[in-house]
Structure 1
Amino acid sequence: MAKLECDFCGAPDTSDNPIISGDNACICKSCVNAAHEIMVGNQVSEEGSETSSITREHFEIKTPAQLKDILDDYVIGQNRAKKVLSVAVYNHYKRIFRKDELEDDVEINKSNVLLIGPTGSGKTLLAQTIAKYLDVPLAIADATSLTEAGYVGDDVENVVTRLIQAADGDIQRAETGIIFIDEVDKVARMSENRSITRDVSGEGVQQALLKIIEGSVVNVPPKGGRKHPGQDAIQVDTTNILFICGGAFDGLEEIVKKKKGGNVLGFNQEKKSKDNNGIIADVEAHDLVKYGLIPELIGRLHMIATLNEISEDDMVHILTEPKNALIKQYIKLFQMDNVTLEFEEDALRQIAKLAIERKTGARGLRSILEDVMLDIMYDLPEYKDKTVTITQDVVSKKNEPKIA
């Protein structure tokens, strides 16, 4: 009797890989398992709508007040921006998951958000915190790396690819995620007048963003990179993706000041940063057009929230109060070596002053602390069962820490 072979892969009949023979064909165990996986995978994708509806039933829509409470635990100050973002997120997910509760023909459009504030004021942290506690995928992209399709750089659609990756390849989950586009002010055109030349990383990017921000079905490359003919593409509907754009918008306050008839020239510019917080809060859509954003893009970023420059008091609170505050992190690191770490109030103030002088915002606090704590951390195992106290002179590098 001739030895059986699989008609699909040619494998011989063995005890580990037995072959099932029929009237006209033979198939081995490996090919049966492979066929089963393919069929089950297709069934899952075809029934994706059912999976999505189950997710919707279990999605807890937090109220704006609950969302703001979550943000308060991690972001100091910026109450107005927190309220704007909380309301936008609440309305967005209520629109997705509760749209069938009322039977009428009214369609609710989504409200995307524009966050305006100086570097280190908490724009990215706000988006990260919201996404983490809603348990939705978040993709963060830098607008400066994006270019118009066909030019060197990242296609705008690549931000959607990153969201799919953040959702572990689950398209349905990605379609209800959040995309945060930072440095959006860096793609502003240089003037209000349209240029006759190609502006591939400025106005061109803004034009390319319009389609995905408003909501449409886009074809994205599964692994990112450039799209090219013949390449397999994934279709993603961006209608229910919340877009949050952020930027420092340096110089925007001068545009607002001119509009209000204020003097933007002169010698007394030392206190301008203190006054800018109030001025920037009055920003309107046409001020952003003057800055260089195209009207069509501003029209799709319906809610504008401004973040204040962080004060010295806020810096001290950022160091000590949030759940993941830097001082709490260092205290925990010291506790792992059975060492008690303490900071004097003057030391915290000095760290805050240094961060303000460097104009790096809250993100500059870590680099200052790393520098201050380097030598202490190097000798940390020797301080077991002792208390290390950081004084102002330690921060200023005029003295050693107190060891008791």
Structure 2
Amino acid sequence: MIPTPKNVIEELNKYIIGQQDAKKAVAIALSTRERRRKLDPDMRREVMPKNIILIGPTGVGKTEIARRVAAMLDAPFVKVEATKFTEVGYVGRDVDSIIAELAENTVSKVYEDKVREVEASAERLATERLLGYVCQQLAKSADIANHARRKKQDRQAMAAASGANTSRGNSKLTRQRVARQLQNNELDDQLIEIEVGEEEVSYYQESATDLDESRDEFTDAGQKPRPACTQKRRRKVSVKEARRILTREEAGKLIDYEHVIDTSLHEVEENGVVFLDELDKLVAPRIDVGRDVSGEGVQRDLLPLVEGTTVMTRYGPVKTEHILFIAAGCFYQSKPSELIPELQGRFPLRVELSPLDEDDLVKILVEPKNSLTRQYKALLATEGVTLEFTGDGLREIAKLAVAMNRRSDNIGARRLNTVVERVLEEVNFSAPDRNGETVVVDGQYVSRHTSDLVGNENLSRYIL
């Protein structure tokens, strides 16, 4: 079921405090894309995605909004930093690698989804192969037969499997006994030798850092990559590991690789989300000497990508017309209007996120689904320590975080990690010796453990 804009905001509210304007803009952009799918093909081609620029200081939720939306929709998603790219023709990554990385991530994800779909069948086939290997090697191994004679409880099963004193008529019974042992995981630690092919899907798992080189190779060939040729080799592993290896190999045989690639490219083109962070860093001061290859040059390279073009990846061409781009930046020393006009026009939605105040930080400490306080409670509970936060304790933590943000760089909610870690430093250290204790973090507790920070103008050693 496709979530409505209201559903999107409700889900985001579980993880992100405030910033309703930004949540609404993202929800509407996603809703527009879903509506586009219901149009006739001619009209559908004309409807462009509503790309967004999120403007606000660090630590207010820009990245988290994009990440949570992508996870909620299970959509192809990639987060990149604009400062990592240089203009085409210069040393560094070019912007086409954004789409290449998005395709790479999606192919890997779709492949893993297909593996889960065929897992039951693959496990059955792998068990049959494993049964054959075990029976074959038990029959040839005198050491295993001797081991069976030394252990009374395993004598019948291992003697039958060894074939030393059985007739051909008992081979079926032997196979059944070994199958039962495998089913009960009784042989998991036993070493066996199996024959496997080279990893059939190794090309799905290569590092994204190699994408530029591999993209050139497949661009020249004009073809989609094929599974690697499987040369058989023998490996000695435990039965447990052999089961995993053989299951993976059998799953690979059951999967249509062409279908995986076609599905992945379609998903990228129709549902892809690119989060472009630090867009403001591309707005550089005017220089009279040389060429700005990492600022305006990158903006001009981004333009066709956002506008709509075809990028050759190692899996085939990807059209970017309907990929949603969400850009973000602080824009402290620059303004979105200082981006090149053509790029500004491709980001019709602009949302300013508000700085976080003390009340926001208190809410962030307790309201999100996996809030910081819940994380620390769960961590210390593993040592038998019960951690409790009072209202005045939370208020004191938030107050200190706000003060530190004012005195130094404002890193928003990320400052809470610094303060909470400082407050709980002692209990984290002594937790193994405090099993069964309850630690109450109230205002006095916070003040006592952060007294050296209060009034200290030089907080640099405590800054993240």
Per the shorter chain, which TM-score range? 0.5 to 0.7
Please state how far the C-alpha of 1:164 moved relative to its aligned partner: 1.9
1:173 paired residue among 267, 271, 288: 267
Q: Does 2:398 correspond to 1:352? A: yes
Q: Does 1:184 align with 2:279?
A: yes
Higher relative contact order (CA 8 A, sep 6+): 2
The equivalent residue for 1:302 is: 348
In the other structure, the counterpart of 2:319 is 237
Q: TM-score, normalised by structure 1?
A: 0.67
Other-structure match for 1:227: none
Matched position secondary structure for 2:92: coil
- Letter of the 2:336 counterpart: L
Q: Once structures 1 and 2 are overlaid, which stretch shifts more, 69-78 or 340-349?
A: 340-349
Counterpart code for 2:411: T
Asked if structure 1 preserves the Cα contact closer than 8 Å seen for 2:48 and 2:322, the reply is: no
User: Which residue among 406, 424, 430 is the counterpart of 1:379?
Assistant: 430
Percent of matched pairs sharing the same residue = 40
Alpha-carbon distance in structure 1 between the residues aligned to 2:28 and 2:288: 37
Secondary structure of the 1:167 match is: helix
Aligned residues: 290
Equivalence for 2:14:
73
1:137 touches 1:178 (CA, 8 Å); kept in 2? Answer: yes
The residue number in structure 1 matching 2:39 is 99
Q: 378-387 vs 102-111, which deviates more?
A: 102-111
Give the Cα–Cα distance (whole angstroms) in 2 for the partners of residues 139 and 288 of structure 1. 22
Q: Does 1:64 align with 2:5?
A: yes
> Which residue pairs with 1:364 in the alignment?
415
Deviation at 1:127, TM superposition (A): 0.1
Matched ranges for 1:214-293 at <5 A: 214-220=307-313, 222=314, 234-251=316-333, 288-289=336-337, 292-293=338-339
- Provide the residue aligned with 1:343 in structure 2: 389
1:334 CA displacement = 2.3
Contiguous gaps of at least 5 residues in structure 1: 1-59, 223-232, 253-286
Deviation at 1:103, TM superposition (A): 7.7
Q: Which sits farther off after the overlay, 202-211 or 341-350?
A: 341-350
Aligned to 1:141: 80
Q: Is the CA contact (8 Å cut-off) linking 1:61 and 1:94 kept in structure 2?
A: no
Task: Give the Å deviation of 1:203.
Answer: 0.3
In our comparison, the structure showing a higher alpha carbon Rg is: 2
CA contact (8 A) 1:75 1:322 kept: yes
SS of 1:74's equivalent in the other structure is coil
1:327 paired with 2:373, answer: yes
Q: What TM-score results when the alignment is normalised by the length of structure 2?
A: 0.59
* 1:368 positional shift: 2.4
Aligned-partner Cα distance in 1 for 2:27–2:72: 12
Matched, 1:151 2:90: yes
Residues 32-54 of structure 1, C-alpha deviations (whole Å, 9 max, x = no match) = xxxxxxxxxxxxxxxxxxxxxxx
Deviations, residues 244-303 of structure 1 (Å, cap 9, x unaligned): 000000045xxxxxxxxxxxxxxxxxxxxxxxxxxxxxxxxxx632xx211111100011
Report the AA paired with residue 349 of structure 1. R
Per-residue CA deviations over 1:326-365 (Å, capped at 9, x if unaligned) read 1111112222333221112232222223322231101221
How far is the alpha carbon of 1:153 from its aligned partner? 2.2
Q: Distance in 2 between matches of 1:168 and 1:353?
A: 46
Task: Return the offset for 1:202.
Answer: 0.6
Aligned with 1:337: secondary structure? coil
Instruction: Report the CA distance between 1:184 and its aligned residue.
Output: 0.2
Higher helix share: 2
The 1:211/1:399 distance shift into structure 2, 3 A limit, reads closer
Tell me which residue corresponds to 1:110.
49
Alpha-carbon distance between aligned partners in 1 of 2:266 and 2:102, rounded to the nearest angstrom: 11
- Segments of 5+ residues of structure 2 without an aligned counterpart are 109-263, 452-464
Give the match's secondary structure for 1:93.
helix
